[in-house]
């Protein structure tokens, strides 16, 4: 199939493919029941990624122009040629290139001029200490155990069913997940579990199924930047609800639900990304009750709920949900390995079937080999032992960053002690912009994630997110020393316009040395 693509156009390639195919279908050039090329074959023919084609097919299916026939392929739907050819998506003033350029500009995340891509250009420090990611420490991951499980899976002789691998996930893995969830008080039959290629795919599947352009979605302020990226790509309206140490301020929610009529509520109630806050039990119950009363589904993402260092565990929203309004999303990689991108969704039976049909158009089967290896590891009992060891090391790293922050950061920098998770959320002095600080910090060899990217709208203050589990304690101390120097220098720059980020007083150097000597390296054997 020959599809003209303009690789220099600001219009995304998947959108160009979608617009071409929809035009061919509506003009009758692709008759009903025409079998489209498989996504992999079309991607190879056009010289694009397979994800480009699966995204285009997903958009066409959402419009009712095509449908997937399990085990057979993707076909043009019946009756679409009779539709009036006046779709606003296709019949827009001017050329399609102008339309795509305008659309891409509307979708772009607005940042201050001169700051976009600054980090990649300016980061040249030979020994950078990164506290910016969202994964666990590579040296603490269960690579040996997973390697054994992978070899065992490769040696197995199991046979697939008559229709091939199950798009919902390997049944033994779903059964194991069901048993693990029952310990947390979550009733999740294997038939209601959908295995995904990581949490990001889970958010995308739910968002594509339940949201349409212009819809409102309730999010926490701040919230996951990855989830915000999904919502922005769908042109929905994120409506922010502020949070405090007890999580989302649910008492502010009822008026928003009545005024905005959102199609979805997205929340991370346990060790929230980016703040690490935990929603109180009272607010959890209030949130579930309010959403059920208004008929609004909740997408609950459990990003790092198993990394609890102190305090009691609060029940998941899904465990408090008798009516099926909560969609539960969880992923594994934080305590296993950053290389393993796998998660799962728990939904009602009816929603499960709709999500499964959508997943078939995007990622028909999450790697069966990885699923079998993961199931063997989870059911062996080694996962619990590894989790206990990882918690001990991560707790020490949490304590290290708190001590280093107290020692090196200015007194007007504010943070809260995280009870679990992987992040320390920090509010900067009002005079400092986190995006400019990021550029200065990269030159000094320390990286963090700017807090302003965790908001749907540009916040009034500045903040940053630090990952304390990805570095050894002595590296955390050195990284925080560098960060403290950059913050103090930035404050001096605001007041006097003098000093450079590289300056450091002899007193600061002397303060660091004895503290560095006292830090021990806590690792797992």
Per-residue pLDDT tens digits for 423-481: 999 999 888 889 889 999 999 999 999 999 999 988 888 899 999 999 999 999 999 99
Q: Domain for residue 128, yes or no? A: yes
Query: In 3D, which of 211, 228, 291, 231 has the Cα closest to residue 256?
Result: 291
Residue 244 and residue 306 in one domain: yes
Q: Domain for residue 524, yes or no? A: no
Distances from the Cα of 412 to the Cαs of 231, 233, 388, 432, 484, in angstroms? 34, 37, 35, 11, 12
Query: In 3D, which of 227, 495, 201, 194 has the Cα closest to residue 350?
Result: 194
Strand 264-267 to 298-302 pairing: parallel
What pLDDT score was predicted for residue 107? Answer: 43
- Point out the residues of the chain with pLDDT beneath 70: 1, 80-125, 157-165, 333-339, 493-525
Q: Say whether 334 sits in a helix, a strand or coil.
A: coil
CATH number of residue 41's parent domain = 1.10.10.10
Residue 68 and residue 18 in one domain: yes
Q: Domain for residue 426, yes or no? A: yes
Q: Domain for residue 525, yes or no? A: no
Residue 78 and residue 221 in one domain: no
Q: How many domains does one find in the chain?
A: 3
Residue 396 and residue 287 in one domain: no
Sheet holding 463-467, edge to edge: 414-415, 423-427, 463-467, 449-450
Strand 343-346 to 326-331 pairing: antiparallel
What pLDDT score was predicted for residue 314? Answer: 93
Residue 228 and residue 181 in one domain: yes
**How many secondary structure helices (H) and strands (E) does the chain include?**
17, 16
Residue 466 and residue 498 in one domain: yes
What pLDDT score was predicted for residue 500? Answer: 40
Which residues lie closer than 8 Å to 107 by C-beta, 6 or more apart? 232, 233, 235
Residue 209 and residue 325 in one domain: yes
Residue whose entry in the numeric block shows the structure tokens 């994630």:
449
Residue 164 and residue 254 in one domain: yes
Q: Domain for residue 523, yes or no? A: no
Residue 96 and residue 20 in one domain: yes
Distant-in-sequence contacts of 372-375, Cβ < 8 A, 24+ apart: 372/153, 372/156, 372/158, 372/170, 372/172, 372/173, 373/146, 373/149, 373/150, 373/152, 373/153, 374/146, 374/149, 374/173, 374/332, 374/340, 374/342, 375/170, 375/172, 375/173, 375/176
What pLDDT score was predicted for residue 494? Answer: 61
Tokens standing for 328?
């539960």
> Cβ(235)–Cβ(263) under 8 Å?
no
Distance separating alpha carbons of residues 459 and 111, to the nearest angstrom: 12
CATH number of residue 425's parent domain = 3.90.1150.10
Last residue of a domain, one of 318, 352, 380: 380
Q: Domain for residue 229, yes or no? A: yes
What pLDDT score was predicted for residue 144? Answer: 80
Q: Say whether 437 sits in a helix, a strand or coil.
A: helix
Containing structural domain, residue 95: 13-107
Residue 375 and residue 393 in one domain: no
Last residue of a domain, one of 331, 354, 380: 380
Distance separating alpha carbons of residues 394 and 379, to the nearest angstrom: 24
Which residues lie closer than 8 Å to 314 by C-beta, 6 or more apart? 269, 270, 278, 279, 280, 281, 284
What pLDDT score was predicted for residue 267? Answer: 97
Q: Domain for residue 1, yes or no? A: no
Strand 237-244 to 216-221 pairing: parallel
CATH number of residue 272's parent domain = 3.40.640.10
Residue 331 and residue 479 in one domain: no
> Cβ(317)–Cβ(287) under 8 Å?
yes
> Cβ(79)–Cβ(85) under 8 Å?
no
Cα angle value 322/326/332 (rounded, 5°) = 120
Last residue of a domain, one of 348, 380, 412: 380
Strand 193-196 to 343-346 pairing: antiparallel
Question: Is the Cα dihedral 193, 195, 200, 202 positive or negative?
Answer: negative
HEC string of 37-104 equals CCHHHHHHHHCCCHHHHHHHHHHHHHCCCEEEECCCEEEECCCHHHCCCCCCCCCCCCCHHHHHHHHH
Question: Is the Cα dihedral 453, 459, 464, 467 positive or negative?
Answer: negative
Q: Domain for residue 101, yes or no? A: yes
Question: Is the Cα dihedral 92, 94, 98, 102 positive or negative?
Answer: negative
Residue 30 and residue 63 in one domain: yes
């Amino acid at each position: 199939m020959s599809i003209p693509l303009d690789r220099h156009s600001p219009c995304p390639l998947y959108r160009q493919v979608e617009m071409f195919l929809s035009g061919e279908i509506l003009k009758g050039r692709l008759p009903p029941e025409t079998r489209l090329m498989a996504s992999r074959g079309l991607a190879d023919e056009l010289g694009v990624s397979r994800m480009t084609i699966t995204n285009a097919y997903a958009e066409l299916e959402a419009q009712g122009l095509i449908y997937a026939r399990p085990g057979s392929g993707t076909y043009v739907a019946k009756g679409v040629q009779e539709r009036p050819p006046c779709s606003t998506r296709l019949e827009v003033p001017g050329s399609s290139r102008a339309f795509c350029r305008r659309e891409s500009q509307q979708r772009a995340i607005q940042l201050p001029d001169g700051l976009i891509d600054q980090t990649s250009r300016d980061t040249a420090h030979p020994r950078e200490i990164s506290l910016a990611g969202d994964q666990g420490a590579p040296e603490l991951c269960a690579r040996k155990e997973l390697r054994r499980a992978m070899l065992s899976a490769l040696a197995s002789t199991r046979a697939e069913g008559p229709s091939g691998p199950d798009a919902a996930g390997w049944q033994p893995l779903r059964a194991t997940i069901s048993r693990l969830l029952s310990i947390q008080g979550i009733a999740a039959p294997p038939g209601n579990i959908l295995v995904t290629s990581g949490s990001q795919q889970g958010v995308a599947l739910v968002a594509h199924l339940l949201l349409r352009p212009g819809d409102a979605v309730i999010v926490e302020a701040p919230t996951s930047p990855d989830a915000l990226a999904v919502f922005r790509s769908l042109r929905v309206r994120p409506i922010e609800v502020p949070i405090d140490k007890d999580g989302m301020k649910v008492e502010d929610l009822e008026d928003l639900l009545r005024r905005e009529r959102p199609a979805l509520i997205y929340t991370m109630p346990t060790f929230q990304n980016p703040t690490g806050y935990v929603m109180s039990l009272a607010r959890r119950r209030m949130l579930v009750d309010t959403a059920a009363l208004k008929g609004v589904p909740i997408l609950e993402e459990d990003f790092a709920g198993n990394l609890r260092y102190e305090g009691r565990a609060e029940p998941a929203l899904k465990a408090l949900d008798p009516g099926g309004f909560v969609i539960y999303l969880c992923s594994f990689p934080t305590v296993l390995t950053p290389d393993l991108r796998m998660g799962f969704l728990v939904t009602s039976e009816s929603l499960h079937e709709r999500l499964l049909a959508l997943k078939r158009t995007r990622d028909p089967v999450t790697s069966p080999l990885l699923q079998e290896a993961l199931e063997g590891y989870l059911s062996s009992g080694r996962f619990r032992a590894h989790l206990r060891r990882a918690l001990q090391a991560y707790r020490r790293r949490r304590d290290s960053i708190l001590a280093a922050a107290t020692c090196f950061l200015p007194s007007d920098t504010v943070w809260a002690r995280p009870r679990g998770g992987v992040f320390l959320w920090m509010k900067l002095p009002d005079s400092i912009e986190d995006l400019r600080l990021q550029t200065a910090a990269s030159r000094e060899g320390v990286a963090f994630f700017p807090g302003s990217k965790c908001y749907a709208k540009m916040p009034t203050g500045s903040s940053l997110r630090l990952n304390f589990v990805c570095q050894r304690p002595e590296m955390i101390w050195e990284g925080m020393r560098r960060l403290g120097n950059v913050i103090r220098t930035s404050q001096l720059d605001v007041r006097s316009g003098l000093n450079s980020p590289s300056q450091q007083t002899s007193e600061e150097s002397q303060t660091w040395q004895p503290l560095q000597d006292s830090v021990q390296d806590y690792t797992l054997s």
